[in-house]
Amino acid sequence: MLNHAHLWRRVMDFLQGATGEGAYERYCAHLQTAHPDHPIPSRADFFRQDQHERWDGVRRCC
């Protein structure tokens, strides 16, 4: 039998990954393991910075 809760979790994981919604949590986790002395930015600051960098080049095609 198909596990619905499991399937739903995977769909949401995919969506969050694909939309970049989980990006902040991921970055915080990365900072904690790789650079524990580095200050953790606020969620709003992180997305501000992230969006700015994301559009600094060719991102969309014809």
Contact call for residue 44 and other proteins (CB under 8 A): yes
Contact call for residue 55 and other proteins (CB under 8 A): yes
Phi/psi at 36 (5° precision): -60, -25
Contact call for residue 18 and other proteins (CB under 8 A): yes
Contact call for residue 39 and other proteins (CB under 8 A): no
In this structure, what token pair is assigned to residue 48?
A: 């501000």
Residue 28 sits at the vertex; the CA angle it makes with 4 and 50, to the nearest 5 degrees, is 95
Residues of the shown chain interacting with other proteins in the complex, contacts defined by CB under 8 A: 13-21, 23-24, 26-27, 29-31, 34, 43-44, 46-48, 50-62
